[in-house]
A and B are shown apart, each in its own frame.
Chain A
Amino acid sequence: MRTSRLLAPAIIIIVLALIYTGGASVQSVLTLTMVYATIGLGWNIIGGYAGQTSFGHALFVGIGAYTVVLLQREWDVSPLVGVWAGITLAVLAALLIGWPTFRLSGVYFSLATLAYPLMAMPLLTWLGLQEVLVPYRNTGGGFYLQFADPRWLTLCALALLLVAVGISLRIQKSDFGESLIAIREDAVAAAAAGIHVQRRKLQAYCVSAAMTAAAGALYASVLYVVTPDSVFGLLVSVQALIIPIVGGRGTVWGPIIGSVLLITLAEQLNAELGSRLPGINGLMFGAALILLVLLAREGLLWRAIDIVARFRRRRETGGRPPAEAPSHRPDLTELAALTRGAANAERPILTVENLRKSFNGVKVLDGVDFEVRPGEILGVIGPNGAGKTTLLNIVNGFVDADGGHIRFTDQDVSATPPHERANLGIGRTFQTPRPLPRCSVERNVQISALHRPERSATVRGALRATGLWARAGAAVGDLDIGELRRLELARALAGRPAVLLVDEILAGLSSDQADDIVTLLRAIADQGVAVILIEHTMGAMLRLADRLVVLEAGTVITSGPPQAVVADRRVVAAYLGSKWSSHA
C-alpha cells in the first residue's frame, strides 16, 4: 500500500509528460490504454472483487458508445451529457441480465453475458446503424470532446481513469467491497454471515456496468466511427476480461498493468501486421487467454505478490518455518457485548413446529418439534442419517422445509432468507470449516459484522473470546483444525447471535482442543445465548447439554435431561440396534 502511494503520483507525472511531449501515435496508444484500463476496472468490480466472470462486457461498452453518438447525431447532445444516459441504460441492462441469472448457478450468468452483446449486433444492423459517424462539432471549448490538439482527449481519458481508480479504491476499502470478496471466496459462508449475496452481486454488476459504459462513451470519441463490431464485438468483451485477469483480478493495479501490456502489444501488432493479416489481434488475444489459463491463472500482480512474500519470509526466518504460534487463552471478558441475551429466559427463543422435509421421496424429517430457551444448550443427537444436519440447514434457512414452522422470538421466520435470519440473530457454524481462503483471520471474522457501527469492537471481542486474537493477522491456510473450528465460532459470534447452531464442532479434535471449545460454548450459553448443538461424541454432549433431543429416521423419539435420555431403551436401540436395548 505504501509503495502504491509513492508510485501513483510518479506514474501520473510520467503519463502527463508523455501526453505533453508525445506525437499523434503516442497519444492514440495512450488514450486507448487508458480507456481499456477503465473498461478493465469496470469489469474488475463484478469479475474481480465479486468473482463473477462476465463474458460480455462489450454490451456496456457498446451501450455507452452508441448512446452518446446517437444522442449527439439526433439532438446535438454533448457527450458530457449523453454519457449519463448511457450509464443509465447500461445499469438497466445489467439489472435485466443480473436479476434472473444471479438466482441460478454461474453457468447461466456466463451464457447470458456472452449472448446479450451478440444479439445487439443484428439488432443494430437491422436498425440501419452499422456505421455511425461522430458528427464533427469543434466548438473550441471541447464541449463535444473534439479538440484541435489530440492531447486534450488523452487528458480526458486520464481523468476518467482516475475517477475509475478512485471509485475502485473506495469500494476496495468499504464494507461493500469486503462483502463482495466474501461472496467470491465462499458465497455460502457469506450468506451464513448475514450478507445478502444476490443484492450485493447485483449492486456490483450495476456499478461495473456504469463504469464500463462511461469508458465506452469516451471510446466513441476515440473511434470517430462506431460500428456494432467495434464496440459490441466479441473481441471487446475479451479485452474487458483479459486485461484485469492478466494484470491481477480483484486489485486496482491489475487492470492498469494488463492494459499497458496488452493494448501496447495489440497496437504494435496492428501497425506492423494488421493490413496483411487481418485478425492478428484476435489471434493474439485468443493465445493470451490460453497461455494465461495454463501458466498464470491468478494474473501477474498476484504472482509478484506471492514471490515477494515468499522472499520476505525466507529473509526473516532464514528459510526455517515460522516459530510456534503464540499460545491461545480464550479471553471471555468481552463476551457479554457480543451476544444478545434475551430479557426473559423463560420464554422459548426458537420454536420448531412439525418440520417436514423429503429429498426425492425419502422422508428426512417427518414432523419434528422442539423449542429452546435463552441460555440453554440443546443437544440434538441421533444415528447417521437421522436428519440432524438437514434440521440445522432448515433452521438457518439454507434448505426450505416442505412443511412446518420456525419461530424466532415472536416472528415466523420459516420463509426468511438465510442472511436475514443471520442478521436477526440466528448464527451457525459449519461442520467442515468454510474459511475465506485468501483472507486473514480478522477479515474472516469481520464479514459477520459488516455495516455495523461497533464493528471493530465486535471483531476484537470475538477473536479474544475464541483465543484467536494473537492470530488475527495470520492467513487461514496456516491454522490447524482446532483453530479453524474456533474461527467458525468467532465468525458466528461476530454476528451477535441470540441462537447459535453448532454443527459437530468437536469431531476430530484432540481432547485439549475440544476442552477449549467446550468451555467456550458453556460461557456463550451463560450469556443468555440459546445453543443448539449437533454432536457425535456422547461424552462431550453429556457434559455440555442441558437437554437432549433424539432424532431417528426424521422424528423425535425422545427428549429430556441427558442422563434420562441415554438410559432410554429406544435411544439405545436407535444407536446400537434393538438387540442391545434389552441389555441396557
Chain B
Amino acid sequence: MNDLLQYAISGLMTGGVIALLSTGLALIFGVMGVVNFAHGDAVMVAMYTALLISTGTAIPGIAIAVLLLPVFMAVGWLLHLVLIGRLAQSVDGRPAERDHDAQLLLTLGLSLILQNAALMIFGSDPRGGGGVQEPIKVAGLVLDPQRLLAFAIALLVSGALFVVLNRTAFGRGLRAAASDPVAAQYCGIEVKRAHRAAFAIGTGLAGVGGALLATFYPIQPFVSLDFIILMFAAVVLGGLGSVPGACVGGLLIGLIQGLGQIFLPLQLQTLTGFLVFLLILFVRPQGIFGKAVRV
C-alpha cells in the first residue's frame, strides 16, 4: 500500500512538469490551432541551457527557471516573428487546412534542426540528471526535493497562467482570438499579435519546464521524444486546446505513468502515455473537458 502511494506521488511530481509543458502546448494549439511539434525541442534547449548555467555557476535550479521564462518568451516571440507568423493566414485568422499542414511542417522542420544541432554541439551521450540531494522522508514516503520543487513551481506557473487568461484584459483578448478570430478582429483585437503572444508564452513555459526537468532528468539531444507523446496524451486527455484541461491531463498522465512503473519494465514506461492517448482517441476524443474537434 505504501509502495502504491510512493509510486503515485513520484508520478504526480513528474506529472506537474508534464502539466506545465502541456499547458504551453495547449495554449499554442488553442489560440493558433497549430500543434507545435518543436515544443519538446524547446524543452531540450532549455534543459541544456540550464545545465550549462548550473555547472558554471552556483545559481540554483529555481533561479534558472525564473531566468529562462523571459528569455524563452523572447525566443518564442522572435520565432513567431521570423518564421511561424510568416505563413499567410486566411481571412478568419485561423490557418486553412492546407496552411495548417504548412505550420505543422514548419514546426517539424524546426524540431529536426534543433535536435540535430544539439547532436552536433553536445554529442549523443546523456548528461546531467541532477546532483544527489538528501531525500526527504515524510510518513515513511521518500520525496526527492528537486522533483518536489519542480512540482510546486510548475503548479504555481500554471496557476499564474490561468489567472492571466481569465482575469486580465490581455488574457481575455487571447481567449477571444482563440474562440472566434473574426469576431475578435472586429472587436479590435489584433489576431496575429495574439498568436505571437500565445507562441511566446507557450515557449516561455517550455523554458521553465526544461529548466525544472534539468534538475532531475538526464539530457540528450533527442530527449524530446521521451516527452512528446506524454504531452500529446495530456493535451488530448484534457480536451484539445483546453489550457486547464491540459494541466489536469498532465497531472493524470504523470500519475498513470507513475503507477505504471509498478508493473511495466523501464523501457516501456512511455507506453502508458501512449495507451492513454490511444484509449482517448477510440473512446472519448473530446477528452475530459473539451469538445471533439470534428471535421
Contacts and interface: CB of A to CB of B under 8 A. Distances in A.
Nearest to B100: A106
A125 interface: yes
Contacts of B187: none
A282 B108 contact: no
Given A107-B240, A119-B274, A101 B281 contact: yes
A541 to B, nearest CB: 30
A47 B121 CA distance: 34
B274 A105 contact: no
A287 interface: yes
B149 interface: no
Interface in A233-259: 234-235, 238, 241, 245
A282 B109 contact: no
B35 A111 contact: yes
Interface string A261-290: 000000000000000011111110111111
Given A111-B236, A115-B274, A277 B109 contact: no
Question: Which one of B86, B268, B282, B295 has the highest number of Cβ atoms from chain A below 10 Å of its Cβ?
Answer: B295
A88 interface: no
A240 to B, nearest CB: 12
Interface string A536-577: 000000000000000000000000000000000000000000
Prevailing SS type, chain A contact patch: helix
Interface string A19-56: 00000000000000000000000000000000101010
Contacts of A53: 101, 104-105
A412 to B, nearest CB: 24
A290 B106 contact: yes
A48 to B, nearest CB: 12
A289 B282 CA distance: 31
B109 A104 contact: no
A292 interface: yes
A279 B108 CA distance: 15
B119 interface: yes
Contacts, number: 136
Given A108-B281, A112-B281, A123-B268, A280 B102 contact: no
Contacts of A107: 29, 33, 35, 100, 240, 293
A282 B120 CA distance: 11
A283 B117 contact: yes
User: In the complex, which range does the number of interface residues on chain A fall in?
Assistant: 35 or more
A286 B271 contact: no
B236 to A, nearest CB: 7
B270 A282 contact: no
B174 to A, nearest CB: 20
A297 B102 contact: yes
Interface stretch (B157-165, B175-183, B224-232, B253-261): B224-232
A126 B264 CA distance: 11
Interface in A286-327: 286-290, 292-294, 297
Interface in B91-135: 97-98, 100-102, 104-106, 108-113, 115-117, 119-120, 124
Nearest to B232: A111
Interface string B214-246: 000000010001001100100010001000000
B292 interface: yes
Contacts of A111: 35, 232, 236, 277
A289 B108 contact: yes
B294 interface: yes
Contacts of B86: 294
A369 B29 CA distance: 42
A234 B281 contact: no
Interface in B34-72: 35, 37
B83 interface: yes
A487 interface: no
B112 A285 contact: yes
A297 B99 CA distance: 9
Contact of B293 (A104, A119, A235): A104
B116 A110 contact: no
Give the interface centre of A238, A245, A279, A287 by most chain B CB atoms within 10 Å. A279
A114 interface: yes
A100 interface: yes
How many B residues touch the partner, as a band?
35 or more
A122 interface: yes
B295 A283 contact: no
Contacts of B236: 108, 111
A282 B112 contact: yes
Contact of B117 (A100, A279, A288): A279
Nearest to A235: B112
Nearest to B103: A293
A112 B240 CA distance: 13
A118 B227 CA distance: 11
Contacts of A235: 112
B2 interface: no
Contacts of B87: 293
A180 to B, nearest CB: 15
A286 B112 contact: yes
A111 B107 CA distance: 13
B11 interface: no
A119 B229 contact: yes
B209 interface: no
Nearest to B292: A104
A126 B112 contact: no
A289 B109 CA distance: 5
A456 B97 CA distance: 31
B265 to A, nearest CB: 6
A115 B113 contact: no
B29 to A, nearest CB: 8
Interface string A181-204: 000000100000000010000000
B90 interface: no
Contacts of B37: 55, 114
Contacts of A241: 105
A293 B225 contact: no
A114 B282 CA distance: 17
A563 B61 CA distance: 81
Interface string B129-153: 0000000000000000000000000
Interface string A374-403: 000000000000000000000000000000
Contacts of A104: 285, 292-295
Nearest to A101: B281
Contact of B294 (A105, A114, A297): A105
Nearest to A104: B285
Nearest to B88: A297
Most interface-central of B37, B102, B112, B277 (chain A CB within 10 A): B112
A266 to B, nearest CB: 13
A115 B106 contact: no
B229 A234 contact: no
Given A119-B229, A234-B115, A279-B116, 20 more contacts: A103-B285, A103-B295, A104-B293, A105-B294, A106-B101, A107-B29, A115-B229, A197-B295, A238-B108, A277-B120, A278-B124, A279-B115, A279-B119, A279-B120, A282-B112, A282-B113, A283-B112, A286-B111, A289-B105, A289-B109
5 contacts: A53-B104, A114-B232, A115-B277, A197-B295, A279-B120
